[in-house]
Chains A and B, each alone.
Chain A
């Protein structure tokens, strides 16, 4: 990516974001309309029965929808391919703490983590950790720290300004905060109350008060002046002393800073601030003691209200971003994006209806779409064995050529065996429910990094309304194509009757492999096969840490009497089928020279990627432009 200048980049980002987001809005808007397209169960009807309105904007997608969990690569400007991390990238640090639970967090730390997460959701703490305390390493010797490095006291002679001493926080303020805030309470003003609160860059002399040197900024208690990289202050605010709470707010969007005193904003103190500043305090006379609050406690000043204002401003800026003279082009592009998305995820009936009403051509044969849909359905209902078999039948060379993919599918099959959902063990188990899966068949649109519990719940309640499209080709698909190519073999109609009809049923008890001894034996045998396949792969193609970890995690399930509630139990969650499903779908599409990512998901990914690039290049507005906000 060529970065011409920050502001230019910023604009380009916004444009990309805006474009992507508009597409999203179109689709998510579709999804939220109350009128539904119902797929007819009638076998003779191959096209959907569309409710009165022919305007596509009034439809809701009700087909079962695979949601993908990550896109492996996105292109920007067609030149760069950037590997993206998984869904937890936004809050990796916090997640790891929560998941492993090794750390006995005390209440204060928990509160701190919660507050920081709420205030700065866009910050990726693995990349840019937030300041949580003062740094015991980055301070002058006259500074003493106590109380978890939150309390600062002066321990020098305090005779002349040469005895001034400062301390910086552990980390600089990440740009992705958008708006950053911390407070300092004056516990004692000591002898003269020569205290300075502010910001400084790494490497600024600590034998000084904040504000006196280049890249250093401070507000001083004795005279109420602000010091902007200068030994002489400017009249700024009131003086402060014992008992006062002074806040410092950095706006990383317009690079300004203002202070607060006892919850009252004192107005802008500094403009044109450089990036990567650290919270800093400086003391100069004996007895001076101050406590920092980086989010450990509620703030006196209502910073969230200030953030609300900026969020609104940024969002208004995005909404008002001009699209210029490309109005017509715009609409056509959005329609294309929506259509390709529907095709990609094999919502064939909806795709057909959409294409008809918007006058577009579908670039893939209908039957081919249906084949992919069939496979996805199997994966998402946990019937991996059948999914692999079907794939091998329809796309004979695909898995042979792609051993890693096959391995991944088999590991998933193993997990589904443990789960008791894979068809092989289900047959052995003799349990009546054919599918214990409660995969909602939701119109989940895209992978969103964090799956909100509420949204999936909403979809689950709607399960009863969902009618599978699968019925109408249970006798096999044999339509021949007049144009386009036929994807896969169309002659093998696989009887999918089995997997229909039990969507609403949720199994409450959980037993290993569905509780059957035979099934357990089959599972163990399968595990051995998997192990040998893994060894085989390693011999042939060298070590693959991803594969190794995958297998290890899967086998770990057997180490627990109740795998579902074990630390590795998340693998059994049906949501974990989604990445598998999308990887397989992408692989199929790729073999036929179709994009392995739908353009819509690509642009969402691109927008998200732009945001993280903005965070890295110091554009604070990324904090208030979360892609998630546009995916209702």
Chain B
């Protein structure tokens, strides 16, 4: 900070002078006398400590390649090589630009090569420098994995000293970013090698080892399952972690141990009702959200807690009553506080930097808390200014906050009561619609999913949303490459079409276009297919609508139905399709499309005898509609169906074990009284 302030005005006048002294240091690296070179490096070491400008100068003047050369030369003395590594480590401690320059000079392979030396002091110096380079965000972590011999060698160095343990575990903790990295480390025995370090006498080693486990276990079932069976000094690893969460331990340690247990739990290695989760991890994470903690800790605590309880209603219920968590989170929105703006510019800066993070973390946690339990949702919406905060969160500049806000809104939108009250009162649909206009897919998925709920029939927001021209937008979503967006688009349309006016239905069909509709019917994603069938079913609901739609699109629809019934689809898909068929059978004119299609009738007959009750029921429903005797031509239809052998089937179904199916068959039979007489003759004892 100080250096920066000084540098700007003084730069020009001082630069040449400084460069001259710096050049002297570099020149000495080329001295023919090795003793002078060593002294030069030592002097350089003392000159660069804590002096960022000096570091930058030396780098510009080309000290790094020379130092690397000296470090790699086997003719150099061990002392010189060690001092070179120390100076490089010092240079790496500077700015991000320094690190970039070092990486560009291929410092990483050189230092990794150095680790093959047998001298511990030299190895430690190399590792210290490597650690500094690797923990920088500008270093590509992949560089650790390029040479496959590196990881096993690092594992073997873990036993050398506390320093090697600290540096190596720190490198692992920072460089394990993908499932592939996890697998590489796992396969080279990371767990067995690092677990004993959890009880190291050095706090730094324990801490870095713990961090390693948190990154290794994250969303990794294989690692997590292995971890639960690991014993450290005769004690289960989970118990070691529990001990690290004790309230007198440093916060960083408590938080990281809680993360480890959270990840193990989410990966299925620890049950959600295990005491170490319910009584230890969850309360520990709630504590991390308290006002006493640093802003960073509160963010991490809230995010981890949200992740922990996401799938489990019991944990959500416990968390919702623990330490006033719901109102504690309201405090996350109070940064920067009015006090910080006036009193302390540094604090304001700090607050501003974390304000977005805090808000998104709070939204995430609220989303997780409210994802299942109606009472909790109520509690959240009743928190001070909650709905206003969500509404303004939806239009914040930070994508992270927008995404979290919409997640929160989505979670709350699962409540019928909230949809009817607070959602409508705060007109949340407006910012939501705005958000849908132009947002990254991630946000779109959540926003459209929320929209689906807002378009439910009982939602008072449905009308104004319809009027805002949402149909075009949803139709465009169905053309997205993302299956999730296609599902949400078609789902929203399905909800919209439920018990809708003719006008709306026509508008949907027009905007979507039959071509797109049928494309969706062959969508590789089952969810999309299901919701499209649902949409069709909703479109084909009341009799006039059925006849109208079928008269214009009957042929294609029948084709699609045939295709689906013949294809390899799940029971649910076929059931939905048969329901559509039943709806068609309910139309006045549409009926004929089935009656004249013997192939279709055979299919219905087949499904009436299917082993799955749901399919039998849907098919029977369809037949029942066809033989309904209050309509024109029912007699002819009944005759035809009797000739095709439906009597037998229906009769058999009246004796089905499933009560619904049995009832349905009996109702159908009542519309064909003479069928019953015929049966009476056929089976003398009859049926009641």
Contact = CB atoms under 8 A, between A and B. Distances in A.
Interface string B317-331: 010011110001000
B321 A311 contact: no
Nearest to B286: A265
Question: Per DSSP, are chain A's interface residues mostly helix, strand or loop, or mixed?
Answer: mixed
B248 interface: yes
Interface in B244-260: 246-248
B322 A263 contact: no
A267 B324 contact: yes
Contact of A306 (B247, B279, B280, B322): B247
A266 to B, nearest CB: 6
B248 A264 contact: no
Interface in B305-356: 318, 321-324, 328
Interface in B128-171: none
A309 B248 contact: yes
B554 interface: no
Interface in A257-290: 261, 263-268
A308 B248 contact: yes
B483 interface: no
B248 A265 contact: no
Contact of B322 (A266, A268, A305, A308): A266
A248 B295 CA distance: 30
Contacts of B268: none
Interface size class for chain B?
Answer: 10 to 19
Contacts of A261: 321
B321 A266 contact: yes
Interface string A286-321: 000000000000000010011011011000000000
Contacts of B248: 308-309, 311-312
B609 interface: no
B313 to A, nearest CB: 15
A253 to B, nearest CB: 14
Contacts, number: 34
A446 to B, nearest CB: 27
B162 to A, nearest CB: 20
Nearest to A261: B321
B122 to A, nearest CB: 31
Interface residues of A, number: 16
B247 A265 contact: no
B283 interface: yes
A287 to B, nearest CB: 26
A319 B322 CA distance: 32
Contacts of A90: none
A129 interface: no
Contacts of A265: 283, 322-323
Nearest to A315: B248
A305 B321 contact: no
Contacts of A302: 279-280
B246 A267 contact: no
Contacts of A462: none
A322 interface: no
Given A265-B283, A302-B279, A309 B247 contact: yes
A357 B684 CA distance: 123
Question: Per DSSP, are chain B's interface residues mostly helix, strand or loop, or mixed?
Answer: helix
A385 B660 CA distance: 107
A308 B321 contact: no
Contacts of A267: 322-324, 328
B318 A264 contact: yes
A263 B279 contact: yes
A266 B323 CA distance: 4
B290 to A, nearest CB: 9
A263 B321 CA distance: 12
B293 to A, nearest CB: 13
Contacts of B321: 237-238, 261, 264, 266
A624 to B, nearest CB: 11
A274 B299 CA distance: 36
A421 B322 CA distance: 64
A305 B323 contact: no
A311 B323 CA distance: 20
Interface string A208-243: 000000000000000000000000000001100000
Most buried by A among B247, B283, B323: B247
Contacts of B323: 265-267
Contacts of B328: 267
Nearest to A308: B248
A266 B318 CA distance: 10
Nearest to B275: A263
A44 B547 CA distance: 126
Nearest to A268: B324
A305 B318 contact: no
Contacts of A306: 247
Contacts of B283: 264-265
Nearest to A262: B318
B159 to A, nearest CB: 27
B297 to A, nearest CB: 15
A264 B316 CA distance: 13
Contacts of B322: 264-267
A605 to B, nearest CB: 29
Nearest to A264: B322
Contacts of A309: 247-248
A355 B478 CA distance: 90
A312 B247 CA distance: 9
Interface string A543-564: 0000000000000000000000
Interface in A164-188: none
A226 to B, nearest CB: 11
A264 B248 CA distance: 18
Interface in A94-131: none
A115 to B, nearest CB: 19
Contacts of A266: 321-324
Contacts of B279: 263-264, 302
A201 B531 CA distance: 65
Nearest to B382: A235
B125 to A, nearest CB: 30
Contact of B246 (A263, A264, A308): A308
Contacts of A268: 324
Contacts of A237: 321
Interface string B396-424: 00000000000000000000000000000
A306 B247 CA distance: 7
A311 B246 CA distance: 12
A265 B324 CA distance: 9
A309 B328 CA distance: 20
Nearest to B327: A267
A298 to B, nearest CB: 13
Nearest to A238: B321
Contacts of B280: 302
B289 to A, nearest CB: 11
B556 to A, nearest CB: 56
Nearest to B282: A264
A308 B247 contact: yes
Nearest to B320: A238
A309 to B, nearest CB: 4
Nearest to A224: B321
Contacts of A238: 321
A266 B247 CA distance: 17
Nearest to B318: A264
Given A264-B283, A266-B322, A267-B328, 7 more contacts: A261-B321, A263-B279, A265-B323, A266-B321, A266-B324, A268-B324, A309-B248
23 contacts: A237-B321, A261-B321, A263-B279, A264-B279, A264-B283, A264-B321, A265-B283, A265-B322, A265-B323, A266-B321, A266-B322, A266-B324, A267-B323, A267-B324, A267-B328, A268-B324, A308-B246, A308-B247, A308-B248, A309-B247, A309-B248, A311-B248, A312-B248
Interface of A: 237-238, 261, 263-268, 302, 305-306, 308-309, 311-312
Interface of B: 246-248, 279-280, 283, 318, 321-324, 328
Please provide the 4 A-B residue pairs with the shortest distance between their CB atoms, ordered closest to farther: A309-B247, A267-B324, A308-B248, A267-B323
